[in-house]
Chain A
Amino acid sequence: MSIVADTSILARREGTSGRLSDFFWRNPKILLLLMLTPPLLWLGVIYLGSLFALLLQSFFSIDDFSGLINYEFTLATYRQLLIPSNFDIILRTVLMAALVTLASAAIAFPIAYYAARYAKGKWKVVFYLGVMLPLWSSYLVKVYAWKLILAKEGIVTWAFAKLHLSWLLDAWLSLPVVGGSSLSISYTGTFIVFIYVWMPFMILPIQAALERVPGNLIEASADLGGHPAQTFRHVLFPLALPGIIAGSIFTFSLTLGDYIIPQIIGSSRLFIGQAVYAQQGTAGNIPLAAAFSVVPIVIMGLYLWMAKRQGAFDAL
């Protein structure tokens, strides 16, 4: 039998699969609809729906005496966010998230730049492995490992001592706010661990953005008289900005919502995530927990709106 057909139109494959193939080929939109319906239902109903239900809770209030939820719309719960002890939590978290994001971007950019511009072949694999490898191990294990690393008896203290730099570490720890009795129970420790844990989420989007910047744009800038700093400011940075914004969405929102790192490493003062955890758990104050969780959403919304207004997405 010849493998070359001798008719100009080939017969349809036997059975339903053949009929289905032909049907979907003629009606590609039906296939698209079939493929998209389950994820859209998941996203629309279960995911956004439950988020909306949570938001709704924030407009209820709790009866201080009975501890029962009062299902009348009120802004009283939001007013509670503004009392100093709660507002401090918000301020502390937002400040930490902002600092973590800035520091992550500053550390991630050179790494991403190297990977996008110089790493080839084997080195590219090494880069991806190096960036992704920490994500393969448990988040909790990493955080507890950091607790040991940063502890008074840990390797950091030891290294400072060996380098005869203990005075430097002590001077830092004696500073107000960022200091503490050891790194593992200071804001500095929380900051370091946040940066470590979220770093891959900053590196990868920046690397992807830089990967798309043709090398000759950098040459063109230099050719036109742009010094390296000017080339960075006027060409490289604007073109990498969508990637930096994408990365900062990750680091910023992940820091805003995290409740484990500040609980294990840091001073015992609360972050938003811990406040939500405490309010919905032990305190049983679901409305306040919901109001707290609205804060990161509003902040992220404002952040993206400002980024868009600044033209951060023009290069997309």
Chain B
Amino acid sequence: MTAVLFQQVSRHFGTVRAVDSVDLAIAEGEFFAMLGPSGSGKTTCLRLMAGFEQPTSGHIEIFGETAEGVPPYRRNVNTVFQDYALFPHLSILENVAYGLMVKGVGKAERLKAAEEALAMVKLPGYGARRPGQLSGGQRQRVALARALVNRPRVLLLDEPLGALDLKLREQMQEELKSLQKSLGITFVFVTHDQGEALSMADRIAVFSDGRIQQLGTPEEVYKKPKTRFVADFVGSSNVLPPDFVRTLGFGDSYASLRPEAITLGDGLGRKNFAGRVVATSFLGAANRVTVEAAGARIAAMTPASIAPPALGETVTLSFLPEDLHPMDGAR
């Protein structure tokens, strides 16, 4: 079953086309990421699903039911807000029970459900505190519990991990993923962090300028970017200009080549080219070696165990032909 369906959905603010003719079908039980830089329309898409925005044109369905014109409080969809949006005048328990309270669930029952939801996000016994007394990571969990206690059919997450530090973010990524698996709820996740999208999502929609540039599994989006934008934005792909691609023996178009697909030296069945080393940097697990070849700057990831070549040295680099992906829609 399709959880969320967008047909030619546009949302314009004056002359700005925040969302421009987007088609989208999110399957039930899917962990779906909307990835893009700020202003790319991903958050507006999320707000269209939540009901905070109405489409200028197009059609939206949630589980087969028409959603345009339906206010947020009549949608069985809940949001985890970017800055959590916890009610400062209510206790944590009251915050979590809020959705059940406005739906008329009895006090004892809703407080019990709220306690359980807090336990689920590993904050048992925090109910009596106020939002102001919790850390960012804890507030994030409360926001999650407050949304999930309503058993929504779709959970919308607006950059939920953006304000957390790296360690906490990685931990929350894993927890979110396992929560989603165990609850079976459709998660729609907005992020500008490609690492987050790649590691968590079943499918990714890459947004730019209000349009979806590419929609696919993390592997497809990462390995076979369709456009220069996707290649640039997802990971740190090398975008090779048409001239250079032609000299390597491929067609006349832009092509992407992942840094980790390039090795120093040549090998059997590999394509090679020469480049002058212009920069090297140590990244911990690997070295990044940037070379200049035929006017293009190309980055390669080399194992940290091998000492990087010296600056100015001319080296031979190679890659497997199938790792080079010609891109359509290239300028």
Contacts and interface: CB of A to CB of B under 8 A. Distances in A.
Interface of A: 214, 216-217, 219-227, 230, 234-235, 238-239, 314-315
Residue among A221, A223, A225 with max Cβ neighbours from chain B (10 Å):
A223
A219 B53 CA distance: 11
A216 B83 CA distance: 9
Given A219-B72, A219-B81, 5 more contacts: A214-B85, A224-B102, A224-B147, A230-B102, A314-B89
Interface residues of B, number: 24
B85 A216 contact: yes
B79 interface: yes
* Dominant SS among interface residues on chain A: helix
A303 to B, nearest CB: 21
Given A224-B146, A225-B73, A225-B150, A219 B102 contact: no
Given A235-B87, A238-B89, A239-B88, A221 B81 contact: no
Interface string B54-93: 0000000000000000011100011101010111110000
Interface of B: 50-52, 71-73, 77-79, 81, 83, 85-89, 98-99, 101-103, 146-147, 150
B88 A224 contact: no
A222 B52 CA distance: 9
A226 B50 contact: no
B79 A225 contact: no
Given A216-B83, A223-B50, A315 B102 contact: no
A315 B88 contact: yes
Pairs of residues from A and B, 5 with the lowest C-beta to C-beta distance, nearest first: A224-B99, A220-B85, A222-B72, A216-B85, A226-B102
B89 A223 contact: no
A67 B51 CA distance: 75
Contacts of A235: 87
Nearest to A233: B102
Contacts of B71: 222
A234 B98 contact: yes
B89 A222 contact: no
A230 B102 CA distance: 7
B98 A226 contact: yes
A239 B83 contact: no
Contacts of A219: 50, 52, 72, 79, 81, 85
A17 to B, nearest CB: 43
Nearest to B99: A224
A222 B73 contact: yes
A221 B51 CA distance: 12
Nearest to B77: A223
28 contacts: A216-B81, A216-B83, A219-B72, A219-B81, A220-B85, A220-B86, A221-B87, A222-B51, A222-B73, A223-B50, A223-B51, A223-B73, A223-B147, A224-B98, A224-B102, A224-B147, A225-B99, A225-B102, A226-B73, A226-B98, A230-B102, A234-B101, A234-B102, A235-B87, A238-B89, A239-B88, A239-B89, A315-B89
A217 B79 CA distance: 12
Contact of B79 (A223, A239, A314, A315): A223
B150 A220 contact: no
A7 B81 CA distance: 52
A238 B88 CA distance: 10
Contacts of A239: 88-89
A222 B102 CA distance: 10
B145 to A, nearest CB: 12
A234 B101 CA distance: 10
Contacts of A225: 73, 99, 102-103, 150
Nearest to A220: B85
A165 B77 CA distance: 51
A175 to B, nearest CB: 40
Contacts of B72: 219, 222-223
A223 B89 CA distance: 18
Contacts of A227: 73, 102
A78 B99 CA distance: 53
A221 B79 CA distance: 10
Contacts of B85: 214, 216-217, 219-220
A223 B52 CA distance: 8
Contact of B78 (A216, A224, A234, A315): A224
Given A216-B83, A227-B73, A221 B89 contact: no
B158 to A, nearest CB: 10
Nearest to B83: A216
Contacts of B52: 219, 222-223
A217 B52 CA distance: 12
Contacts of A230: 102
Contacts of B89: 238-239, 314-315
Contacts of B101: 234
Given A217-B87, A235-B87, A224 B81 contact: no
Contacts of A234: 87, 98, 101-102
A23 B293 CA distance: 65
B307 to A, nearest CB: 43
Contacts of A238: 89
Contacts of A220: 79, 81, 85-87
A315 B98 CA distance: 17
A219 B46 CA distance: 13
Residue among A220, A224, A226, A314 with max Cβ neighbours from chain B (10 Å):
A224
A230 B88 CA distance: 17
Nearest to A215: B85
A238 B95 CA distance: 14
Residue among A234, A238, A314 with max Cβ neighbours from chain B (10 Å):
A234
A238 B72 CA distance: 22
Contacts of A226: 73, 98, 102
